[in-house]
Amino acid sequence: MTTPIVYIEPGCIYCQACVTTAPEVFLFPDDKAVINGLVRVDGITSPNADERAALVPDLDWDAIREAAAGCPVDIIKIA
């Protein structure tokens, strides 16, 4: 079974809520949230909006979904 893809569309307002909710997946290294390459099959740390890389198995999907639902500008997408 393929794991869902998580990506972040442009428009991050730097609130860091996703990093607090799901720190295993979301990082805030500079001026916008990104998906940690350590939990991506391609190993790239970026918003994943272009690559659309799958995530590795056995992540905390409750936390990931909570982070997506809690984004105040609704730009965290699960596909």
Closest by CA position to 16, among listed 2, 1, 3, 29: 29
Tokens (6 digits) for 46 = 């970026």
Among 6, 33, 39, 53, binds ligand SF4 (CB under 6 A): 33
The span of 7-15, 38-46, 48-56, 57-65 binding ligand SF4 (CB under 6 A) equals 7-15
Distance of CA 22 to the CA centre of its chain: 8
Judged by CB under 6 A, which stretch of 10-18, 36-44, 53-61 contacts ligand SF4? Answer: 10-18
**Judged by CB under 6 A, does residue 75 bind ligand SF4?**
yes
Task: Name residue, tokens 């916008």.
Answer: 32
